[in-house]
């Protein structure tokens, strides 16, 4: 079982004291190895949610490696200790950013789940109504009508895909596809001469 960073650091300190601090090389090597594991553990969320802070961690890690390579083992141990503390801070920041983004995505999806089906339904009814008329209204050209019909089919497919993403738990992908539906729907409504309140 891999020891925690705290217990490992205490072990390193004990090793240095026991050895009279005469030989920092092995403790420094082990400290670098352990902090690399910690860095890898936070990399996923940190790169995604706080990338600038993760870059700082990488720079600190490279600096510690450089100290070790130059034989400055005492500085390596000190740098690793500082890096360990910074990893904890960045990990907490990444978790907060992730949770905030997740909450925002969930709120967006709840809104889309209510509004977009209404939009798709309203466009479908408008297309059906216009298809039954002998002559299109002045504010709807034939080319726009034809384009709107094609776009409407794309909207329905995209909404089906968005719903499937939501059902599978991928809310970020669902919101991305839902945004596509929303944008295309607004364009189609304009082509069909529909007021923006038509889906209310």
Banded pLDDT at 1 (limits 50, 70, 90): very low
Domain boundary among 47, 63, 98: 98
Range of the domain at 92: 5-98
pLDDT value for 15: 54
Share of the chain above pLDDT 70, in %: 87
Count of structural domains within the chain = 2
66-88 burial: b if 16+ Cβ within 10 Å, else e: ebbeeebbebbbbbbbebbebbe
* Distance (Å, whole) CA 100 – CA 102: 5
Residue 8 pLDDT greater than 90, yes or no: no
Domain boundary among 98, 125, 140: 98
Q: If DSSP states are collapsed to H, E and C, what string results for 134-160?
A: CCCCCCCCHHHHHHHHHHHHHHHHHHH
Same structural domain, 108 and 85: no
Query: What would the pLDDT profile of 99-116 be if each residue is shown by its tens digit?
Result: 999 999 999 999 999 999
Alpha helices in the chain (DSSP H): 5-18, 25-49, 51-69, 73-131, 142-167, 171-191
> For residue 189, which of 118, 116, 119, 135 has the smallest C-alpha distance?
119
Banded pLDDT at 6 (limits 50, 70, 90): low
Please tell me whether the overall predicted TM-score, pTM, comes out greater than 0.75 for this model: no
> What's the token pair of residue 149?
């019909």
């Amino acid at each position: 079982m891999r020891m925690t960073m705290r217990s490992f650091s205490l072990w390193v300190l004990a090793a240095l004291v026991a050895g009279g601090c005469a030989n920092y090389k092995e403790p420094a090597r082990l400290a670098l190895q352990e902090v690399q594991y910690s860095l890898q553990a936070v990399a996923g969320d940190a790169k995604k949610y706080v990338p600038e802070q993760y870059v700082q961690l990488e720079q600190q890690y490279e600096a510690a490696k450089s100290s070790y390579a130059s034989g400055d083992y005492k500085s390596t141990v000190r740098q690793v200790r500082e890096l360990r503390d910074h990893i904890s801070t960045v990990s907490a920041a990444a978790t907060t950013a992730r949770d905030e983004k997740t909450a925002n995505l969930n709120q967006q999806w709840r809104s889309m789940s209510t509004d977009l089906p209404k939009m798709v339904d309203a466009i479908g009814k408008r297309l059906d109504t216009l298809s039954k008329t002998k002559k299109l209204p002045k504010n709807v050209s034939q080319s726009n009508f034809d384009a709107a019909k094609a776009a409407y089919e794309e909207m329905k497919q995209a909404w089906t895909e968005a719903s499937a993403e939501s059902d599978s738990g991928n809310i970020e992908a669902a919101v991305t596809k839902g945004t596509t539906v929303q944008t295309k729907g607004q364009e189609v409504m304009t082509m069909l001469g529909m007021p923006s309140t038509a889906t209310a």
